[in-house]
Chain A
């Protein structure tokens, strides 16, 4: 796209999951010109993966309908890799999309936390949400034997989904002790809408073994997963399976916020009551502000969308409901606390960085993420530390302290397009 034709939007929303959809729809209600960008082929994020065609009823359907009827400009397969004040660049196939914005709403969601253990790099060892995403994207799972392991309510949701899709779910291994898990379950079932969901899910889950105090210690197989060893109450057992779906709760995607200069606290984007970040005209909604799930994401998204278009009254009406869900989030955080035994799963030769194949012992020789990066290349592969950086944070308490452009690996031609636009806006002086 020629830079002289760069479109200007009142509001640009990055991420088309529930928070981003709610933000875009709410912002457009006041007549603002809104762009919604997402790197996936369809809107919906992870929880509504599959887009409008897969959402036949309920909340997802109604939000997709509202989005469909709104004048929001939607850009699919658009991976935002560069941000500067008032402008962003996204790679979309062979083209670079550049647009200007007056307000930016970051709704970049979360990824799973993966912890390294022997064999975790074998094919068919996946994320829990990862396997669910691929099944939603067409992977046949009928009669496949699946072990689900890690922590958090996502494991149960994945188990229910996979079983419904025909999988033989052999076990759900939850690292937390029973009591912590039950306490969380009891508290969340009191939330509006959650009780029925929980009841429906427990029907789906009937008959699936749920093992608390249980975690994977090794995945085994020749060239592909064949079995997993799990530790349960001090005893080790081996379970033959086709897929091991592992997720140790979620890590917020804060790379763009960090690049924009937004303040972070304990890994999350700092946002005020109006979902404003510490950078003027940049808002944040959903998981990057704190792992809170679907309902909270929708509420934060709406508030951000209204505030970005100066509709404070509409936003304030949602504050009380948001507060209710935020209280539940505090409990969720407690129930997903990782036990220290998990820090000992990786052996000295276990790879932590899967892009550059850096082992635990090579990382352990250093005292910071930066030093480890410089000396071992960990976190310098294509994922830019999105997988190993989060693991290193848990294993070594290291913080990833910077995000530099491009925030995703892109083609040289895409970088050149950004440079060309910058040159023109500087009067061609560069």
Chain B
């Protein structure tokens, strides 16, 4: 995979390899994906669409599992929403 895609995570540009999923962009930005109901930071656990810990807002759509969405240039990812 080569670095060819740039997405925005909470407004900041993040470069990821072609074919990378959105969870990779969030991890690369060093951010957790969400805050749990008692306030803990959470990030991907299962990597395969089961656990829902990686859910973020993508292009305005909330609660999207970021491990199952392939990054596209200009994609807007927001964590903690």
Q: Does B13 contact A (CB under 8 A)?
A: no
B50 touches A41 (CB 8 A): no
Within 8 A of B (CB), among A35-61: 39-41, 46, 50, 53
Report chain B residues within 8 Å CB of A137. Answer: 19-21, 23-24, 47, 67
Within 8 A of A (CB), among B31-81: 32, 36-38, 40-53, 55, 63, 67-71
Q: Does A261 contact B (CB under 8 A)?
A: no
A39 touches B49 (CB 8 A): yes
Q: Does B9 contact A (CB under 8 A)?
A: no
Given known pairs A40-B68, A134-B67, the reply for A140 and B28 (CB within 8 Å) is: yes
Determine how close the nearest CB of chain A comes to the CB of B25; give it in whole angstroms.
9
Report chain A residues within 8 Å CB of B70. Answer: 41
What is the interface size of chain B, counting residues whose CB is below 8 A from a CB of the partner? 35
Residue of B28, B43, B46, B63 near A124 (CB, 8 A) is B43
Report chain A residues within 8 Å CB of B67. Answer: 133-134, 137
B32 touches A123 (CB 8 A): yes
Q: Which residue of chain B is the closest to A109 with respect to CB atoms?
A: B48
- CA separation between A156 and B48, bound complex, in Å? 19
A77 touches B68 (CB 8 A): yes
Determine how close the nearest CB of chain B comes to the CB of A79; give it in whole angstroms.
8
Report chain A residues within 8 Å CB of B28. Answer: 139-140
Determine how close the nearest CB of chain A comes to the CB of B77; give it in whole angstroms.
14
- CA separation between A50 and B48, bound complex, in Å? 12
Q: Does A121 contact B (CB under 8 A)?
A: yes
Determine how close the nearest CB of chain A comes to the CB of B19; give it in whole angstroms.
6
Q: Does A234 contact B (CB under 8 A)?
A: no
Q: A177-220: contact bitstring with B at CB < 8 Å (1 yes, 0 no)?
A: 00000000000000000000000000000000000000000000
Report chain A residues within 8 Å CB of B32. Answer: 123, 223-224
Q: A321-355: contact bitstring with B at CB < 8 Å (1 yes, 0 no)?
A: 00000000000000000000000000000010011
- CA separation between A129 and B36, bound complex, in Å? 23
Determine how close the nearest CB of chain B comes to the CB of A53; give it in whole angstroms.
7
Report chain A residues within 8 Å CB of B36. Answer: 121, 354, 357
A131 touches B69 (CB 8 A): no
Report chain B residues within 8 Å CB of A124. Answer: 43
Given known pairs A126-B45, A138-B1, A223-B41, the reply for A382 and B52 (CB within 8 Å) is: yes
A112 touches B46 (CB 8 A): yes
Q: Which residue of chain A is the closest to B23 with respect to CB atoms?
A: A134
- CA separation between A117 and B41, bound complex, in Å? 17
Q: Which residue of chain A is the closest to B71 with respect to CB atoms?
A: A138
Report chain B residues within 8 Å CB of A382. Answer: 52, 55, 63
A132 touches B47 (CB 8 A): yes
Q: Does A381 contact B (CB under 8 A)?
A: yes
Given known pairs A132-B47, A354-B36, the reply for A139 and B24 (CB within 8 Å) is: yes
Given known pairs A41-B69, A137-B20, the reply for A383 and B37 (CB within 8 Å) is: no
Determine how close the nearest CB of chain A comes to the CB of B20; give it in whole angstroms.
3
B17 touches A130 (CB 8 A): no
Report chain A residues within 8 Å CB of B69. Answer: 41
Residue of B42, B46, B55, B71 near A121 (CB, 8 A) is B42
Q: A121-151: contact bitstring with B at CB < 8 Å (1 yes, 0 no)?
A: 1011111011111100111100000000000
Report chain A residues within 8 Å CB of B50. Answer: 111, 253, 383, 386-387
Residue of A46, A114, A138 near B24 (CB, 8 A) is A138
A357 touches B68 (CB 8 A): no
A53 touches B19 (CB 8 A): yes
Residue of B1, B37, B47, B48 near A357 (CB, 8 A) is B37
- CA separation between A50 and B24, bound complex, in Å? 14
- CA separation between A387 and B44, bound complex, in Å? 13
- CA separation between A116 and B58, bound complex, in Å? 30
**Selected A-B contacts with CB under 8 Å, 24 pairs:** A53-B19, A111-B50, A121-B40, A123-B32, A125-B45, A126-B47, A127-B48, A133-B46, A134-B27, A134-B44, A137-B20, A137-B24, A138-B1, A138-B17, A138-B20, A139-B23, A224-B41, A351-B40, A354-B36, A354-B45, A355-B52, A357-B36, A386-B51, A387-B45
**Knowing that A77-B68, A139-B20 are A-B contacts, what are 5 other residue pairs whose CB atoms are under 8 Å apart, sorted by A's residue number?**
A127-B48, A134-B67, A137-B47, A138-B19, A409-B52
Q: Which 6 A-B pairs have the closest CB atoms?
A: A138-B20, A130-B47, A123-B43, A133-B47, A382-B52, A357-B38
Binding site for A on B (CB under 8 A): 1, 16-17, 19-21, 23-24, 27-28, 32, 36-38, 40-53, 55, 63, 67-71
